[in-house]
Every structure is written in structure tokens, then in C-alpha cells.
Chain A
Amino acid sequence: MNPFSSGTRLRDMIRAIRACKTAAEERAVVRKECAAIRSAISEHDQDYRHRNIAKLMFIHMLGYPTHFGQMECLKLIASAGFPEKRIGYLGLMLLLDERQEVLMLVTNSLKQDLNHTNQYIVGLALCALGNICSAEMASDLAAEVERLLLTKDPNIKKKAALCSIRIIRKVPDLAENFLSPAASLLKEKHHGVLIAGIQLCTDLCKVSADANKHLRKNCTEGLIRILKDVSNSSYAPEYDIAGITDPFLHIRVLRLMRMLGQGDADTSEYMNDILAQIASKTESNKNAGNAILYECVETIMGIEATSGLRVLAINILGRFLSNRDNNIRYVALNMLMKAIAVDSQAVQRHRTTILECVKDSDASIRKRALELVFLLVNDTNAKPLTKELIDYLEVSDQDFKGDLTAKICSIIEKFSQEKKWYIDQMLKVLSLAGSYVKDDVWHALIVAISNAPDLQGYSVRSLYKAFRTSFEQVSLVRVVVWCIGEYGEMLVGNVGVLEVEEPLTVTESDTVDVLEACLTGHSADITTRSMSLIALLKLSSRFPPTSERIKEIITEHKGSIVLELQQRAIEFNSIIQRHDNIKSSLVERMPVLDESAYMVKKANSSQENIVAVKSSQMSLAGTSVTLPNGVAKPPAAPLVDLLDLSSDDALVPTSTSKDFLHDLLGIDLTNSSSSGFSIAPSGGTDILMDLLSIGTPVQSDISPETVSSNQGFAPTTKPTPTTVQVLDLLDVLPSNGSVAGDQSPLYPSITAFQSSTLKIMFSFKKHPEKPQVTEIHATFMNLSSDSYTDFVFQAAVPKFIQLHLDPASSNHLPANGNGTITQTVTVTNSQHGQKPLAMRIRMVYKVDNQEKLEQGQINNFPPGL
């Protein structure tokens, strides 16, 4: 026998643990006990097994791991005596949960115990099964439990009934097996069996419509009789609670009646009298009575009750609502939410009381009341209710402000009929609880202001005023910053003053003060500060007198340790210093934001995320490729690869027309008719895959430079002046002009193509430091007497040459050589000095809307290119 485990009794261990003064001491005692129990387990000590499990249960409650005792529970359950089994089952329920595999091992013992002759052992097994059985165990043992439902002993019967509930919750398919024994339980007299039986019937109704039908047909009458008997019974000391006989039975019968009466007028009608009796006669001065009334009201709301009965129910709730007991008020609010669906007018009558409950000191009641108020808002009462709620927002608890703000905002958004009201209310919320406002709410406000030209001045002035008192509210500050940036001059110039406004004098430097405060305030986050920088940049163009000061503020942030701020400051500084001429157009007011599109976007924001990921992948693949020679390539459009640019004679279309897709189709059409090009459509291949196919086997033999040129083979449908401009602003690129200056044409111009209708001249430029690169200036001339429209020049080169087409000067070519189109073509010959330049060209244009096509090959390039 183990000397340790025999040493301490359960009582002694608990005493020892309680005597511990520190957590460390407690851990030491527990560790010692656990060690003793473990060694007892490994020695298969039988005498003290039940004591060890009892100890483990206590240790388990303290939160220590006790999994090593699980098998011991199974051994105890398997032993013959009642005391061992009793503690074994208790340990099983406490130390295991239904998800543990070990549990399956107990199935056999359970089966034996369910068939035991001792009713208390059967009871133990039923209790354990009912509390922790898994779906597998439920299926395995359902037959035993079903049989036990029919035994005589009420103790076993009620336990089997509750056990059946667990079984059908786990395996709803078994429900029909239990239907007829469950229905017969309703004829019992024993309250325990009745309660368990009624509960089983309720659960059967939940999982099976057939069961509901069957019980409605056969048991409604019996149920009503049970309720009548119990509510009219004289004093019964065994079941009496506060003068009511067995409120638990009352409540369960009422609940099952709700299941049966739902959606069935006849059954509901049948229940009318007894419900009216319960609703009007039950004592409501004690909790037990109120619990019955509460359940009764819910049943009346749930079934197809007569209007008289519903009035009775709503009146009970009204009484509850004015009760002094917080519990009663809470359940009243809870039930009124369900009552709205039945009779919203009746609930509206209690609006004032409900609104008072929003301001209750009890968080649970406040929360319920707020949910209810939210359901009560309609077009007619939205304004006063919003006012009440906003007034309360000012004094409410910090913990409650988040919920309250969210609800107020959604009421305002949902019920605003006029923009000014919306803006006013949002402004109030922002100044009272701006820190709790979600991002999408203030974004929506900005969109709304942007769409209300006649209120922009008013908004920016109100915001300015609000800012002076509530500068610590994050969302408010952001809206203020954005609006001052956009509508600063309306603030200073008092544009669009409404009649209700008080006059306000704001100087230009005041606005800069605000932004500076937002930028440097210690509580400001990066978003706010970044927004402030943009707003400052905008103001520097609108208010020239302040530009010097703004420049200083921006300069200060050039050394900011926050990368985002530093970058913005440097970029903006560059704009202010070097590009004053374009500044005003750069910082123009934002175009009006599309309100309906924003609302749709907001609604689909979950989907939006997925799309955003996709489009970012796209743009990643399509971002401009900066080649080693410093020429920024425009992004390759995803569709380009559909034309399979890896073919030898890659075709580069260029167009000034906006219709890019049309162009692509045009190319495809003409190509299929021309024999010179092999175009294999990469049908079915993912565009993205294609874009990323730099390393695919097809192209693996190509030098990296050529490959990147493939990416660059973009139809430059739209010139990209913005990219160039921005790069230029940042002085990344050397100015083109200066390079051109010290460059002399070394090569003679050629006539690249001439037909009866069209002449193309090429002139060449070369950078001395980059012999491979040739800049070709193409000049197109119309020799016919009709003018050409939609003129598009396309060129293709062999693989070893890289081609880049700049946008053409125009797509319209006047007749009779009265004007020209020029276009710059840059070619990089990777085999410079070994192979000469070669090029195929094609010109597509329209004469009187007739599509024309000309093509040719250029072989007469001057040598040395």
C-alpha cells in the first residue's frame, strides 16, 4: 500500500490547501498530492481509489490539470459497489467532457449499469449519460434509455426522460423513437416525471414537425388539464413556492403550449381560457408568480391568441415595466422586443418609460432598453428620440458610450430626411463621443458634405466651432481637418451663410493654427497627422499669405520618425519649393464623392476586401517597370498577354484612341487575316498567370532584358503624364531637355514607308553612353485628299530588340500633307553591332468611317543602330 496516499484524508488535504497563505505554497501542496495520487495509480492501489478521485476533483476545481485521473474514474465505474460507482460517475462528469476519446471506453459500463437491478445505480448511469454523452454514445445507448422510460419507478422515469432530451439533441434522427413514450409520460401524476416528460415533449417539437403535430393532436387537452389542476390546487406543502403550487410545472406546461399553439388557430383558441385565467389570477408580488406571468405572456405572444388576450399580455408587461424590481423591468424590456412584432402601437405607448430605462444605472437594463429604443424609432419619432439619446450621450457611462454611439449613428443614418439635420446630429455625436465613432460613419459624413454644395460652408464653420471645444475627439478632428483642407476658404470668407448661423470671423492664420494643432497635438495619430499635412498643402495654395508659415511647418516634419509623415513632408516640400506653377492645379478641391457608390461599397465592404486583394495583385503585376536606362515603362495592361507576346514577332499596338479593348480586337482581327504573324491565343489561361509568366518555359531562353520588354509591350492607350510628372517633381529623372541638348543627330533620316496615301519619316537620336538605345522620331503624313481619323501606328520587332512607343501627338491626320502626327519610338537593340534593326509596321485609320489598314516592313535602317 502506498504510504503517501494513505496518509492524508480528503478533509486533511482540503485543510492543508486552505491553510496555504500564498499561491506558491498552494502549488507545492497540490504538487505533492498529485505525485502521491500518480504513484497510487501506477501501483494499482484499489483501497483508496475513490478517495484519490475525490481529491483530484477538488484539485481540478482549483484549476490544476488532472487528466491522469481519467482512467481511474473508469475503473471505479467498472467496480461492483455503489459507493465506488457514485464517486466514479461524479469524477467522470467533472474531469471529462464529451469531446474526449476516453469517454467512449465507458459506454460498456454504462450499458451494464443501465440494466442494473439497483435503481440508484441505474440513476447514476442515466445522470452521467444525460450530462455528458456524445453523439456516438447517444446512438449506442438510446434503446436502453427508451426502455427505461417505461419502467414503473418515477425516479428512473424522470431521469430517463431528461437523458432522452440529451440524446435527441445530439442525434435528432432518434426523435421519433421517443415520441410515444414521451406522450405517455404526460399522463403521469408525479411532478418530477411530468416536468421531465413535458420538457422532453418540448424538445421533440423543436427537432421534429411531425412530433409537434402528433402532440398537438393528442396532448393539448391533457396539458390544459394539468395546468388547470396545478393552478387551482389547494395548498400543497411539498410543491409550494410563495403560495403557488409548483411554478416550475406551470412554466413548463406554458412553454409546451407555446410550441403547440404556434401557427394553429384552433389549438390557440382552445388554450384561450386557461391562459386568460393564469394571466389575470396569478399573484404578482413574488418572483415565482412573476416568472409564471412572464412565461404566460410569452406564450400569448407566441400563439395565435385573440386580441383581448394580447391586450392582457401587453398590460402585464406595462405593469412589469413600472415595477421597482430591476429583474422585472429587465424581463419586461426583453419581452417588449418580441411584442413589437405583434403590436408595435402598444409598445410605442411605453416609449417614455423605455427611454428612461436607457439611462438606468444598471448596464444590463440599459443595454436591453437601447436595443428596444432602436426598434421603436420610426420616421415620426426619429428626431425627438435622437435628441434624447444625444443628450444622454453627454452624461452616460464610459463603457456604455460605444454601444450608444453606434446605435445613435445608425438611427441618424437611417432616418435622416434632410441633409442639414444629418450633418447637425453627426456633428453633435462627433463632438460628444467622437472617439467611439467607427471609421465608416465619419467617412459617410465626409461623403455627405462633399455632396451638399450649399451646406459645405455651414459644415466647415460648425466643425470649426465644434473643434474649439472638443479637440480631443479623434473622428471629429479628422472630419475638421478634411473639411478645412477642402473648404477652408468658405470658412474664412463666410461663404454660403445660412440664416440660422451666428456670424463667425476666422482669419486665414486661424485655420492654419487649427491644422498645426492637429498635426503636432500629442494625442494625434498618424492618420490625423497625415490628413493635416495634406490639408496644409491645400491651404498653402488657397491662402498665399500663409504659405510661408505652412512651408515651415511642413519642413519641420521632413525629419519625422514616422515614415509616412516624413515622406509626405518631403514630397509636399518639393511641390511648394519647385513646382509653384502647377501647385494650384495639383491641390484642387476633391471631385464630389459618389454618394450612392459609397453606400454600395459600404454595404459590400466584406466582399470589397477580397476584390482589393485581387486588384492589388493586378497592380503589382502591372506596375510600371523602370528599366536600367531610367525610362519608366507604363504598366502592362493585363489583356496584352492574351495576344501572346512571346511570339517572335511581337506586335506592339499603339493608339491614342481611348478604346483600348477595341484596339485589341482590331489587332486580333487583322492579324488573323495577315500571314506574317503567328498569334496563338492563350485561351483559358489566367490573365494574372500570364502577367506573371516571366519565368515560364516558353520564355526561359530569352534574356532578362527582353523579357522585361515583353512586359513593357503595352498598348499605350492612355498617356501617363501623371507618372512622369510626379517622377519629375521629385527630380528622379534627369530632365529630358538637357540630354537632348548635347545630342547631335549622327544618323540620316529615312523614309520608312511610303504608299500612295501615306508617308512615314524616321529620324534618329542616340545617347552616346547607351549605344544600344535608339530614339526614333516618326513623322506621319497624309498624302491623300481625305483626312484620316482614329489613326493608330503599330510596330513589331524581333525578339532581340526591345520596343517602347510613346503616345502619339494626335490621332487625326489632316489631308494633303497639311499636318503631321509625330510619335517617339524607343528601341533597344540587345545585339547591337551584330544584328541590324528591323521592324514591321502597321497603320490603321479611318476614312469617312471606313476602316483602312496599311502595313510594311522597314529594312532600310541606317547601319550601326
Chain B
Amino acid sequence: MIHFVLLISRQGKVRLTKWYSPYSQKERTKVIRELSGLILARGPKLCNFVEWRGYKVVYRRYASLYFCMCIDADDNELEILEIIHHFVEILDRYFGSVCELDLIFNFHKAYYILDEILIAGELQESSKKTVARLIAAQDSLVEAAKEQASSVSNMIAQVTK
């Protein structure tokens, strides 16, 4: 089971956090501080796993961002690497060559995508196409609602004129 997902920039700034196990706000801050110290300090050639508090943290660096997932000691580390890559590829397709700034300004979109990939700390969908389709469908729902709202308000504005 994945206990939490963290996206940390090389400067140690948090870009995304998702907690599937109960951690209080205080613990979350502590965990983030501890892990960014541990992971950012590791050299490039070393393995992608860090043992931490009886768990394992699998991380992978993409440009300036570290994608980290914390799993149980007996989970499959290599598979988690694939899940991270799966997530990154979907982000990449959605944003079109994703960069850190996309994830900063559209952080909520990154969360929506993650929610289509993982639920309860388990993998939900192995097809990138399906995830993209589901996200697109929901985005268009939002767009439709917006348009409707603006047209209604237009009407009201015209009426009140």
C-alpha cells in the first residue's frame, strides 16, 4: 500500500502531497522535512529506495522534481517506480511536456490526475488513455458549467440593464 505521495522540488519546496494513511498536520510537516533532507542529499547513481521508519520510500527524479512514494517494507519497489513513471507520463500528455511551473499553477489538475491513478493507496488504472479520457470528460463538465453560468449572468445583466 502507498502511504503517501510527495512531490518535492530540488529546493525542498513541496509541490504536491497526498496522504492515504492518517498523519496529523504536524506529523506531515515533520515527515516532509525529514524525507526531503534524506532524499535530496542522495547522489545520482544511488538506488531509488530509502529505508525510513520501517517503511520504504521510493523516489525518482524528473528534472527539478522528486516524485516520492512511501510504501510498506514488503511491497514491490520496482513496481512503484513504474507507477511513478506512469503518473509522470500522464501528466506529460495532459500538460504537453510538463514542467514544474505547470504543476505549480495548475496544482489542482495534478491532484485530479493523481486521483484517477490512485485511490486508497492502490493503483486504479493502468491505461494512460483511460485516465486522459476521464480527466478530459470531467474538465469539459466544468467548462460547460462555466459557460452556462456566464450566459445566465449575461442574461441577467441584460435584463437588469
Interface positions of A (Cβ within 8 A of B): 11, 14, 18, 54, 57-58, 61-63, 65, 81-83, 86-87, 90, 93-94, 97-99, 120, 123, 126-127, 130-131, 155, 158-159, 162-163, 165-166, 169, 191-192, 195-196, 199, 238-239, 241, 246-249, 251-252, 255, 287-288, 290-291, 294-295, 298, 326-331, 334, 361-365, 367
Contact = CB atoms under 8 A, between A and B. Distances in A.
Given A57-B108, A83-B146, A195 B126 contact: yes
A362 B83 CA distance: 23
Contacts of B115: 90, 93, 127, 131
B122 to A, nearest CB: 5
The number of chain B residues touching the other chain, given as a range, is 35 or more
A80 to B, nearest CB: 10
A622 B88 CA distance: 72
Contact of B127 (A11, A14, A191, A255): A191
B19 to A, nearest CB: 7
A57 B17 CA distance: 11
B154 to A, nearest CB: 15
Nearest to A126: B119
A288 B16 CA distance: 25
Interface stretch (B61-69, B71-79, B91-99): B71-79
Contact of A195 (B17, B108, B112, B124): B124
Interface in B110-161: 111-112, 115, 119-120, 122-130, 134, 137-138, 141-142, 145-146
Contact of B46 (A65, A123, A192, A362): A362
Contact of A11 (B15, B23, B105): B105
A715 to B, nearest CB: 55
Given A94-B111, A361-B46, A62 B14 contact: yes
Given A159-B119, A251-B79, A120 B137 contact: yes
A327 B119 contact: no
Main secondary structure of the interface of A (DSSP, over half): helix
A767 B86 CA distance: 97
A192 B124 contact: yes
Given A165-B120, A362-B47, A195 B82 contact: no
A166 B20 CA distance: 9
B55 interface: no
Nearest to B50: A364
Contacts of A246: 126
A236 B115 CA distance: 24
B76 A294 contact: yes
B79 A90 contact: no
Interface of B: 14-20, 22-25, 29, 45-51, 76-79, 81-83, 86, 104-105, 107-108, 111-112, 115, 119-120, 122-130, 134, 137-138, 141-142, 145-146
Contact of A86 (B14, B24, B112, B130): B112
A195 B125 contact: yes
A287 B138 contact: no
B70 to A, nearest CB: 14
A62 B13 CA distance: 8
A290 B78 contact: yes
B122 A330 contact: no
A61 B138 contact: no
9 contacts: A120-B137, A120-B138, A131-B18, A162-B119, A239-B127, A291-B82, A327-B48, A327-B81, A362-B47
A90 B111 contact: yes
A86 B48 CA distance: 34
A459 B99 CA distance: 65
Nearest to A121: B141
B37 to A, nearest CB: 13
A130 B82 contact: no
B62 to A, nearest CB: 15
Contact of B78 (A86, A331, A367): A331
A99 B19 CA distance: 13
Most chain A beta-carbon contacts within 10 A, residue among B20, B22, B123: B123
Cβ-closest 9 pairs across A and B: A291-B78, A326-B47, A162-B119, A166-B120, A130-B119, A130-B120, A192-B125, A362-B46, A248-B126
Nearest to A96: B25
A238 B127 contact: yes
B104 A18 contact: yes
